[in-house]
A = this chain, B = another copy of it.
Amino acid sequence: MNWPTRYSQSARMAKRSAIRELLKLTARPDMISFAGGLPAPELFPVEEVRDACVRVLTDRPSRSLQYGESEGFPELREWIALRESRGGVRVDPGQVLITQGAQQALDLVGRCLLDRGEVAWVEDPTYLALLTAWRGVGAGFAPCATGPEGWTRVKSGRAFGRPPRVFYANPNFQNPTGATWTRETRRRVVEQARAEGVALVEDDPYGDLGFQGDTPPSLWSMDAERAGLGRGGGNVVRIGTFSKVLAPGLRLGWVVAPEEVVERMVAVRQGMDLHPGTLAQSVVWELVQRGTLERQVPRLRTAYQERCEAMIRSLEEADLPGVTWNRPEGGMFLWVRLAEGECAEKLLRRALEVGVAFVPGAEFWVEQKASNTLRLNYSHTNPERIREGVRRLSSVIRAG
């Protein structure tokens, strides 16, 4: 190895994500993985995707295989704009940018709003891959708590030396805690962002996956209503994805932002990957026209609720001393606390030996690093295997 040049600061600091490495474990035979944030593959609308492929490659092959617009297909942007328009708030297609999954949206937003050394405010714990993306931009993080009083700083650290410019949150069925913000918290955070001149990044991959149906209004629409903006365009950048409701392998997500911000993002994105895949966009456009999403969403809600309940029931039956967990109202994750003093990372090593995987909570914390927390995914595993997985997990927890 004669590599002649040093790496950039970003490359020197980048660590392979534990989640991504753990995903590899799911390939081992008989491993029950509660680790990744994977949707249930047996619920993918496979036949509809196959039919859609045939259709688009018959009716519009050039469009589906050629280079495309950096913003994404206009008809798909229009459809997303319509879907994101709720209550009195209308989203314009010019406020929509289609990305390579929500992860690219996070990267893009970070690259457009944060310079090296700047600080993003986040909930603690927060979404691990957001930390990965924005660390790549050179940002630091200031951990916050959220509630009806809006966001409040937790234990002040050096990161708080600078005023916040961006606050990132996951208000529906948060990854990793599964928590959902009340309407009151949303209202307060939106007011606070306006008052303090902070950009709000609202990441909402799970909003459609509420067990009881609709979630409270989005920060985007509350902000727009509050400001009396008919068409949005205030302080909020909203991120959505087809990964959880259709299929992650298509790699399509989106950003909704004020048109001026979208313009900037398009210019930056052109240097990143030119444009989103056209075959994937053609297929998704075909699927949404066929109503696949309207069929998928209720199916997923029902299945994931069943899986969530199976996991909770199994944990209850295991009756593990000192172990507690939340009761999510949707999404894909259960957040578990072991007894004080226990270490989820040590537990993971033993759990892998008996064929069950999860993500230690420490990965998600910015400051608190509560090492007795862990995240369990229930969407990827059927109820029977969930019960077996919790049995395996319980045996190692009990063995101590």
Contact = CB atoms under 8 A, between A and B. Distances in A.
A58 B47 CA distance: 8
A54 B193 CA distance: 48
Interface of chain A, helix or strand or loop or mixed? Answer: helix
Contact of A132 (B8, B39, B67, B271): B271
Interface stretch (A107-115, A303-311, A342-350, A357-365): A107-115
A154 interface: no
B277 A251 contact: yes
Contact of A280 (B4, B16, B70, B280): B280
A112 B7 contact: yes
Interface in A28-51: 36, 38-39, 41-42, 44, 46, 49-50
A196 to B, nearest CB: 8
B104 A272 contact: yes
Given A11-B111, A115-B9, A135-B271, A67 B4 contact: no
A65 B53 contact: no
Nearest to A19: B270
Contacts of A134: 271
A266 interface: yes
Given A46-B65, A278-B249, A264 B14 contact: yes
A65 B249 contact: yes
A248 B277 CA distance: 8
Contact of A271 (B68, B133, B263, B268): B133
B199 A11 contact: no
Interface in A243-274: 243, 247-251, 258, 260-261, 263-268, 270-274
Contacts of A65: 41, 44, 46, 49, 247-250
Interface string A277-293: 11110010000000000
A270 B103 CA distance: 9
A114 to B, nearest CB: 6
B270 A114 contact: no
Interface stretch (A227-235, A316-324, A392-400): A227-235
A201 B271 CA distance: 17
A69 interface: yes
Given A54-B53, A251-B273, A279-B249, A4 B69 contact: no
B10 A268 contact: yes
Given A41-B65, A129-B271, A113 B8 contact: yes
Contacts of A272: 103-104, 107, 133, 136, 272
A55 B277 CA distance: 20
Contacts of A165: 5-6
Interface residues of A, number: 96
B50 A57 contact: yes
Interface string A368-395: 0000000000000000000000000000
B112 A8 contact: yes
Given A65-B41, A66-B248, A277-B277, A132 B4 contact: no
A103 B273 contact: yes
Interface of A: 1-11, 14-17, 20, 23-24, 36, 38-39, 41-42, 44, 46, 49-50, 53-54, 57-58, 61-62, 64-70, 100-101, 103-104, 107, 111-116, 129, 132-137, 165-166, 193-194, 197-199, 227, 233-235, 243, 247-251, 258, 260-261, 263-268, 270-280, 283
13 contacts: A2-B235, A6-B165, A8-B114, A11-B265, A11-B268, A16-B263, A17-B270, A36-B67, A41-B62, A53-B57, A65-B249, A66-B249, A250-B279
